[in-house]
Amino acid sequence: MIEVNGLTKRYGDVLAVHDLTFTVRPGHVTGFLGPNGAGKSTTLRMILGLHEPTSGSATVDGQPYRRRSAGLRHVGALLDADDVHGGRSAAAHLSALARSNGLPRRRVDEVLREVGLAGVARRRVGGFSLGMRQRLGIATALLGDPPVLLFDEPVNGLDPEGVRWVRGLFQRLAAEGRTVLVSSHLMSEMENTADRLVVIGRGELIADESVAEFAARGARTRVTVRTPDTAELASVLTLAGASVCPEGDDGLTVTGLSAARIGALAHERRIVLHELAPRTASLEEAFMELTADSADYRADYRADHQADYRAEARR
């Protein structure tokens, strides 16, 4: 189990993490999410004892990670797939770690087979693709057969087969009763992989709950409408107080009005509808909505469309 309590980290005048408290329990895949610059990597490094907190604490199974000898037996982590000596082979890299942590040599062969790198065990890591280095990083995390595992952006560079494999691996590890914390910016992966989410923004906790609870908390009424008269319908709905965004050539996504009200307005104006369907928010939509005030960099790619519809409505 990972316990973070009042964790704070300052770099001069920059407050990277502020009074962060959450618990990651065994038996679940917990997704660790936040916009760029939210403090995710800093938090992971404090959990692993690589950065010293300004205040607060982070413990693994009741102890700070730094106090543990043979750390790979207790915690496995992938933070940076490029953090490997390029002149070493995959087998040599893992063998050195096995020796320093008192692990049997057979574990090197076992984890290389598990991650699909047995056939390139003697090749130098400098010639590996990003996906192969990610697999090696996962092998490193698994080497000590630890009860706690942390992964930072583990699917970067993996092909679809690799992504599917990683998804199954994390779920299997959690089913074995291990604590699994996965930091990622890919909402689709978290939707398919995680059971619970810890979401932070600007170093502060936004949510600590199940995936379903998080998606429901961010959901607003959204209605998909398809019509050959998108411009006219958008004008009508905007005047009625809705927010309207284009979806393809003949579609609109509408918030702020129910499907029944949209249908009634279209009927009054004799606007033909090909589809009228309310839908729940996806994890990505909930994330974007709930972290909107915490993102340092965000392009409003729909603002121009909204302005166009408002201008059309005023004519």
DSSP code of residue 281: P
- Residue type for 146, please? P
Q: Is 57 helix (H, G, I), strand (E, B) or coil?
A: strand
Question: Each residue of 207-265: pLDDT tens digit?
Answer: 999 998 888 776 566 899 999 999 999 999 999 999 999 998 899 999 889 899 999 99
Output the pLDDT for position 219: 55
- Same domain? For 202 and 89 the reply is yes
Which CATH number does the domain housing residue 254 bear?
A: 3.30.70.980
Question: 310 or 253: whose pLDDT is higher?
Answer: 253
- Same domain? For 190 and 62 the reply is yes
- Same domain? For 195 and 226 the reply is no
Structural domain count of the chain: 2
Question: Each residue of 67-76: pLDDT tens digit?
Answer: 887 789 999 9
Q: Round the average pLDDT of the chain to a whole number and report it.
A: 90
- Residue 63 bridge partners (DSSP): 60
Q: Phi and psi (nearest 5°) for 260?
A: -60, -45
Domain span including residue 235? 218-314
